[in-house]
Amino acid sequence: MIEQQSSDEDERVSIEAAHWCARLHDADCTAEERQAFARWIAAAPSHQHEYDVMLGIWQLADHLRPAHVPAPRHATARPRRQRKRWRAARMATAAMLGAVTIWLGGWSAGLLPAQAGYYAAQETPRQVMLADGSHVQLNSHSWLIFASFRDRRSAWLNSGGEGYFEVAHDSAHPFSVLTDNGQVRVTGTRFNVWTDDQQMLVSLLEGAVVVSPPSGVQGSQAQLSPGMQARYRQGSNQIDVEQASTASAIAWIEGKLVLDDLSLNVALPLINRYLERPVRLGDAASGNLRIGGIYRTDDLKALIESLPTVLPIELKRHEDGALVLKSRYASL
């Protein structure tokens, strides 16, 4: 069943985030209000996500201030509270008119979107339908912002996020997924995108996509056909392309993680996204060890705990509380 973007809870959090964004930018904001805002942020992870989105919108609007609206030259004196109300009304009216004018101009120039939405999955995956009719299955702890412009469609996926996209075909409005580690450009297709703070992995099931490195990074693009996978790692000037099992790439939709004879260097970032606290590699030798199999994404802690019984590796707890994998032969 498709879950629509605007549930009652989503709407409540959005309204609260907008309220706090406005209050914190008001010169009259008190220390008590700032403390209340800190408590609101700490109450749920979704609060920080929603506030970040609102802050981005506020910062955009901050560059588009409306013109000053002067008071009538012979205005009659009014009580202070009434004057403040009139001043607030004038400012609100000017802001609204200015925003509408700027929005229309920005849309026609392709700078501002006609539609935009924020979608997030918390502890469990979530399926959403975007405003253009495209479907996205978001993995746990993933979120994206979608915007439909006059000549294109754009979706921003968070670092550490994963999404399986079924894009509605529209050749006049190409669809792009943007991450910190590059972007994927399509017109209509099915593909999976996973990204963390070091890399992006794109797996194509149907159609065609072009994978590009991050903006500002010199490097060639890679065009994929179905059954191919592209990986970009930060610091590299190329995109690695290979044949891959597309069924394995989207096994997470069914609550499974498929590790096809992968080194721990490659497998551990895939495992860590499902753990409360990530596991680190303690040496290069442990990263070269290989692992394979099919595992439940809700029980990967058991996989980590079993590694010393199947690999020449030790599992130690660092003084900062993190778990570290270290080869038994590293010191020999």
* Same domain as 236, residue 136: yes
User: Residue 130 and residue 145: Cα distance in Å, rounded?
Assistant: 10
User: Which structural domain, as residue segments, surrounds residue 125?
Assistant: 115-248
Q: Cα(first)–Cα(last) distance of the chain, in Å?
A: 55
For residue 124, give the DSSP letter: S
- For 255-281, letters b (16+ CB in 10 Å) and e give eebbbeeeebebbbbbbbbbeeeebeb
Do 157 and 213 belong to one domain? yes
Biggest alpha carbon–alpha carbon distance for the chain: 90
Q: Tell whether 1 is covered by a domain.
A: no
Please tell me the distance from the alpha carbon of residue 251 to that of residue 248, in angstroms, as a whole number.
Answer: 5
Domain count, the chain: 3
- Distance separating alpha carbons of residues 33 and 244, to the nearest angstrom: 52
Distance CA 131, CA 115 (A): 7
- pTM exceeding 0.75: no
pLDDT digits (tens, 9 = 90+) for 216-235: 677 788 999 999 999 998 88
CB contact at 8 A, 120 and 142 = yes
CATH classification of the domain holding 297: 3.55.50.30
- Describe the crossing of helices 31-43 and 8-24 by its angle, rounded to 10 degrees: 150
- Pick the last residue of a domain from 93, 108, 123: 108
- Could you give the CA distance from residue 201 to residue 207 in angstroms, rounded to a whole number? 17
241, 125: one domain: yes
List Cβ<8 Å contacts ≥24 apart for 271-275. Answer: 271/300, 271/303, 271/304, 273/139, 273/140, 273/141, 273/160, 273/162, 273/196, 274/140, 274/298, 274/300, 275/300, 275/301, 275/304
pLDDT of residue 15: 60
Whole-number Cα distances in Å, 315 to 125, 264, 291, 309, 329: 29, 13, 15, 10, 13
Contacts of 202 (CB under 8 A, 6+ apart): 184, 191, 192, 193, 209, 211, 224, 229, 230, 231
pLDDT for residue 75:
40
CATH of the domain at 172: 2.60.120.1440
Say if residue 212 is in the same domain as residue 143: yes
Do 140 and 275 contact (CB within 8 A), yes or no? Answer: no
Residue 138's DSSP bridge partners are 126, 163
CA distance 148 to 2: 20
Phi, psi of 186 (to 5 degrees): -145, 170
**Whole-number pLDDT of residue 230:** 94
**Segments of the chain with pLDDT less than 70:** 1-12, 14-15, 18-19, 22, 27, 54, 56-114, 216, 330-332
Helix (H, G, I), strand (E, B) or coil at 121: strand
Pair (194, 293) in one structural domain = no
Domain termination site, one of 205, 223, 248: 248
- Residues 72, 131 share a domain: no
Residue 24 forms part of a structural domain: yes
- Residues 6 or more apart whose CB falls under 8 angstroms from that of 13 comprise 44, 46, 47, 50
